[in-house]
């Protein structure tokens, strides 16, 4: 029996009907323990259950834009008649649109209402997914995916704001744990769903499948709480948002241009022109952010070495995490000659191991507060990528699966503990800033977790000589990409060694935080 991602919603509703023994849960915005054994429950609050189900659907939508596609990029590229490098853009444009606009949609939610932006985002998500299938042409597909990514950003950028306003503080830990569980299950089931869709030759289901869920989310959003009439007015930094999107997109294109087919006349545009334009846009973004009253990113908080280093670790974590999900299926299908199903199985294994260890590491950190958990977890990633590189060259499917599992374990441990460090590194009144930076670097890490390995593989493909076949060339590209990710992970180890310091005015004990 094939379980669809809608099964995650069953878990969300089931949680309201269970009564469990008191246990510590994780809270995102206050970082203090919440006890689940109290008489009150989320279902008893006014509209709490409806809000939580709606927010869970929103997080599931975001995952369904990512997990099913990343699991089957080689097979999807073949079905569309494009290379795996070009096929990676189906995922990259979605993530760039999501990461580049997430902050501005959160600001717009402060202005016009988070529920309204959420509803429009779900609708735009559905439209983008539908256009990806109904209109012909690969460039049109990419544009449709970008539109779908914008819709996902409108949903994701307002989820926590809606949740924190509708759910009492004493119950928010339970609520966020529920949303995180639904999102994680959607990632696992989404990878399986994508694998089955490609195996059946029904790639349009990758985009059509979430549409009913998006329409349902938009309809449910009409019942979300509205902001009070006397709320403070917040200006939206549209210029900063545009420059941020421009800088990241130009850099992504520069990294992923077709090395093998680009002429010598055009090559300087990719090697010099686009990087210079990306740098100029980045500098302009910083200048604009320093001038506006309410910037998208509050750079002053990066003066905290604890916060800045943990944000850097978060970027490394999600960059390497996405590279695992991208590189593994590509190698298995195109480098080793296995089926798309075999590639999808790797994604399910990695995601499952991450979900399992995320909770275990939270329990361990809550009781030990050991400063060696984060360095140890990143060291596991370094070892996993080195072992992956060797397994790829030798053509060992078993090695790829085993060390992919190990990478998932390391990522799951680091995910919870590092998020806790981030959320505990700033004073209580700046938890929103910490959360926004966490989510933004998370999605940018996802974007460049595809573009950087793709660029390395393209360079290797041009450099390899001696009549090597396509599969052999891809294995060597995989080898050097894995070593590149190992080097980045090693930098992450150094960042985790920065001494942790608690904010001066924060006396609450921090507890582990799960990320959706």
* Planar angle of CA 97, 385, 478, nearest 5 degrees: 70
Exposed / middle / buried, residue 124 (Cβ in 10 Å: 0-12, 13-18, 19+): buried
Output the pLDDT for position 19.
34
pLDDT tens digit sequence for 421-442: 887 787 766 666 676 777 788 8
Mean pLDDT of 474-497: 94
Q: What 3-state DSSP class applies to 1?
A: coil
The torsion angles phi and psi of 369, rounded to 5 degrees, stand at 50, 30
Could you list the beta-strand ranges (E) of 81-123: none
Mean pLDDT of 474-487: 93
> Would the pLDDT of 509 be above 60?
no
Homologous superfamily, domain 1-230: MFS general substrate transporter like domains (1.20.1250.20)
* Planar angle of CA 25, 28, 32, nearest 5 degrees: 55
Q: How many CB atoms lie within 10 A of CB 235?
A: 11
Q: How confident is the model at residue 402 (pLDDT cuts 50, 70, 90)?
A: very high
Q: How far apart are CA 22 and CA 24, in angstroms?
A: 7
Domain boundaries, the chain: 1-230, 238-291, 301-502
Mean pLDDT of 268-281: 83
Higher pLDDT, 242 or 61: 61
To which residue do tokens 């070593």 refer?
483
Output the pLDDT for position 15.
41
**Which DSSP string do the residues of 357-423 spell out, in sequence order?**
HHHHHHHHHHHH--TTHHHHHHHHHHHHHHHHHHHHHHT-HHHHHHHHHHHHHHHHHHHHHHHHHHH
Q: How far apart are CA 337 and CA 330, in angstroms?
A: 10
What's 499's DSSP letter? P
Q: Determine the distance from the C-alpha atom of residue 230 to the mean position of all C-alpha atoms in its chain, rounded to a whole number.
A: 34
Return the minimum-mean-pLDDT range out of 113-117, 154-158, 427-431, 451-455.
Answer: 427-431
Q: How confident is the model at residue 169 (pLDDT cuts 50, 70, 90)?
A: low
Give Rg (Cα) of the chain.
Answer: 22
CB of 514 within 8 A of CB of 176? yes
86-113 burial: b if 16+ Cβ within 10 Å, else e: bbbbbbbbbbbbbbbbbbbbbbbbbbeb
Q: How far apart are CA 96 and CA 102, in angstroms?
A: 10
Higher pLDDT, 12 or 147: 147
CB of 128 within 8 A of CB of 206? no
Return the minimum-mean-pLDDT range out of 113-127, 366-380, 439-453.
Answer: 439-453
From the list 158, 150, 161, the residue with the least C-alpha distance to 242 is 150
* 3-state helix/strand/coil string of 23-58: CEECCCCCCCCEECCCCCCHHHCCCHHHHHHHHHHH
Confidence (pTM): 0.74
Take residue 200 and report the two structure tokens written for it.
């059946």
Mean pLDDT of 193-203: 89
Share of residues in the chain with pLDDT > 70 (%): 78
Identical topology for domains 1-230 and 301-502: yes
pLDDT tens digit sequence for 221-265: 888 876 655 555 667 778 887 888 888 778 777 766 655 555 566
To which residue do tokens 């917040």 refer?
234
Q: How many CB atoms lie within 10 A of CB 351?
A: 27
CATH architecture for residues 301-502: Up-down Bundle (1.20)
From the list 134, 133, 153, the residue with the least C-alpha distance to 90 is 133
Contacts of residues 487-493 at CB distance under 8 Å and 24 or more positions apart, as own/partner, are 488/316, 488/319, 488/320, 489/316, 489/320, 489/378, 489/381, 489/382, 489/385, 490/382, 491/316, 492/312, 492/313, 492/316, 492/317, 492/320, 492/378, 492/381, 493/375, 493/378, 493/379, 493/382
Output the pLDDT for position 230.
53
> Would the pLDDT of 506 be above 70?
no
């Amino acid at each position: 029996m094939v379980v669809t991602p809608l099964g995650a919603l069953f878990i969300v509703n089931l949680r309201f009907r269970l009564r469990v023994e008191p246990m510590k849960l994780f809270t995102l915005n206050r970082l203090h323990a919440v006890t689940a054994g109290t008489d009150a429950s989320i279902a008893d609050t006014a509209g709490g259950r409806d809000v939580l189900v709606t927010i869970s659907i929103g997080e599931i939508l975001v995952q369904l834009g990512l997990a099913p596609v990343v699991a089957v990029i080689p097979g999807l590229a073949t079905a569309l008649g494009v290379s795996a490098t070009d096929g990676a853009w189906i995922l990259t444009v979605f993530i760039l649109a999501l990461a580049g606009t997430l902050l501005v949609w959160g600001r717009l939610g402060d202005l016009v209402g988070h529920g309204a932006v959420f509803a429009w985002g779900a609708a735009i998500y559905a439209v983008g997914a539908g256009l990806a299938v109904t209109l012909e042409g690969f460039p049109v597909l990419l544009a449709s995916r970008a539109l779908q990514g914008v819709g996902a950003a409108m949903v994701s950028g307002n989820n926590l704001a809606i949740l924190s306003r509708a759910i009492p503080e004493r119950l928010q830990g339970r609520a966020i744990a529920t949303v995180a569980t639904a999102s994680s299950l959607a990632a696992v089931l989404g990878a399986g769903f994508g694998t089955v869709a490609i195996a059946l030759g029904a790639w349009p289901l990758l985009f059509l499948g979430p549409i009913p869920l998006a329409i349902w989310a938009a309809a449910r959003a009409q019942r979300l709480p509205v902001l009070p009439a006397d709320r403070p007015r917040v200006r939206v930094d549209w210029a900063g948002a545009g420059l941020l999107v421009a800088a990241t997109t130009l850099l992504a294109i520069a990294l992923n241009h077709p090395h093998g087919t680009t002429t010598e006349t055009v090559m300087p545009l990719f090697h010099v022109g686009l990087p210079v334009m990306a740098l100029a846009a980045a500098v302009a973004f910083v200048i604009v952010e320093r001038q506006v009253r309410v910037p998208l990113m509050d750079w002053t908080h990066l003066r905290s070495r604890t916060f800045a280093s943990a944000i850097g670790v978060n970027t490394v974590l999600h960059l390497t995490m996405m590279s695992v999900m991208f590189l593994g299926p590509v190698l298995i299908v195109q480098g080793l000659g296995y089926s798309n199903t075999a590639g999808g199985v790797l994604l399910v294994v990695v995601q499952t191991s991450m979900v399992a260890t995320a909770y275990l590491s939270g329990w361990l950190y809550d009781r030990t507060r050991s400063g060696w958990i984060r360095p140890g977890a990143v060291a596991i990633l370094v070892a996993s990528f080195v072992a992956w590189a060797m397994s790829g060259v030798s053509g060992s499917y078993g090695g790829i699966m085993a060390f992919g599992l190990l990478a998932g374990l390391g990522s799951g441990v680091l995910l919870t503990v590092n998020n806790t460090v981030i959320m505990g590194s700033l004073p209580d009144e700046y938890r929103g800033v910490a959360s926004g930076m966490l989510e933004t670097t998370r999605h940018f890490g996802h974007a460049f977790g595809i573009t950087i390995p793709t660029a390395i593989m393209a360079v290797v493909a041009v450099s390899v000589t001696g009549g090597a076949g396509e599969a052999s060339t891809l294995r060597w590209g995989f080898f050097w990409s894995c070593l590149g990710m190992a080097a980045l992970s090693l930098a992450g180890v150094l960042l985790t060694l920065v001494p942790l310091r608690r904010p001066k005015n924060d006396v609450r004990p921090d507890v582990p935080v799960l990320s959706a």
